[in-house]
Amino acid sequence: MSRALSSLKDMSAEIFFDASEIEQLSRAIGNLPGEIKAKAFARAMGRMREMTRTRIVKRSAERTDVQQKVIRSRTVAYFNAGSSTIEAVMRSGWIPLHQLGATQTSKGVRVRLRGSYRSAFIARMSNGHTGVMKRVGKSRLPIRELFGPNPAHDITNNPDEFLKVLTEVIEDHLAPRVLHEIDRLLPR
């Protein structure tokens, strides 16, 4: 055991980087026809757009305790080929509790992952809108609608959390995806 430890102490760790492969890859990509490069980058960015959207939706669902399908319907991602940028846009107001699976109980309303709202009730308005309502004062009127979280508000208030998601996607998947698309386009 002591001999193994002494041999570990004697070993020196040296790390050498051989940049020749990266240089060769850079030259090879530079020599490709413009049409193939443009097509490969467009395909790669399209895939990155969907990966980014999926990751943002997943992180937002974890943070707000809302199902991914509710947040996915409010999130759109665009790829702008002219400037080679991806924009992920989440348009969301406060999500009505009724859309989160509210059920009427004898004491109020229960919402999955949100808890119980005592003295609340589910009401359908004459215009067809259904919501979880609660009386504001002691009298019968006025009433107000109750809402759950706002995923877009969470992104605005915690940008660092979502920037981590974007950097992970770019660092881990962009280069391999571009190389994959180039490989698919080149004749064998």
Positive or negative, the CA dihedral 94, 95, 96, 102 is negative
| Domain regions of the chain by residue span | 25-92+151-185, 97-145
Section 156-161 average pLDDT:
90
Task: Please write the tens of the pLDDT for every residue from 80-133.
Answer: 777 777 888 888 889 999 988 899 999 999 998 888 999 999 999 999 999 999
Q: How far is 40 from 144, CA to CA, in rounded Å?
A: 53
Give Dmax (Cα) for the chain.
Answer: 85
Provide the pLDDT for residue 60: 93
User: For 34, phi and psi rounded to 5 degrees?
Assistant: -60, -35
Q: How far is 21 from 124, CA to CA, in rounded Å?
A: 66
What percentage of residues in the chain have a pLDDT greater than 90? 32
Average pLDDT score over the chain: 82
- Look at 57-61, 160-164, 173-177 and tell me which has the smallest mean pLDDT: 173-177
pLDDT surpassing 90 at residue 27: no
Higher model confidence: residue 68 or residue 35? 68
| Short-list 48, 56, 82, CA closest to 171 | 48
- Look at 24-33, 46-55, 132-141, 152-161 and tell me which has the smallest mean pLDDT: 24-33
- Look at 2-6, 40-44, 68-72, 133-137 and tell me which has the smallest mean pLDDT: 2-6
Q: DSSP class of residue 33? A: -
pLDDT surpassing 80 at residue 20: no
Predicted confidence band of residue 188 (pLDDT cuts 50, 70, 90) = low
Positive or negative, the CA dihedral 99, 103, 109, 115 is negative
